Structure 1
Amino acid sequence: MGLDFAPPARRDLEAWTTLRLLAAEEVRFHSCGCGAGYRPRNLWDLRPFLEARRSQEAGLALLERLRAR
């Protein structure tokens, strides 16, 4: 998960489920030393986070295609 990963409490099943889904989406906890940034800790916040991430990735892919022209 990366150097900045901090595991939730063992009994926090919702947080572990959220982390499992983040791992499936290849979200990692890396930083430049200033913190890994926001990562959702519950299922309620997971969907908006992943939708924003996918939108950003799509935008970056489009920018790369435009630069290649």
Structure 2
Amino acid sequence: MKPIEPIKIQRSEERLSNRIGLPIIEELVRRVKIREEIDKRFPKPGSNRGIRSSNYVMTLVYIFYRWSNSLGRCKSSS
């Protein structure tokens, strides 16, 4: 497996949101080809209405990411 190239992050004067890490996560997923690997290892949907395994798993990743941000705000406010 070849090493992952560094992800370039630039300074910005724009206001940052609590979802600032999502583009970095998505870029890492793209570079490591995680979606393709998930689809290869998990079964395909059995009906024409099923969703790809990678879409399901990445949705869970984003939910966990969002939840961890919320949990961090709860801890810092108490």
User: Same-fold call, TM > 0.5?
Assistant: no
Structure ID, larger Rg: 2
Q: TM-score, normalised by structure 1?
A: 0.43
Q: Which has the higher contact order (CA 8 A, sep 6+)?
A: 1
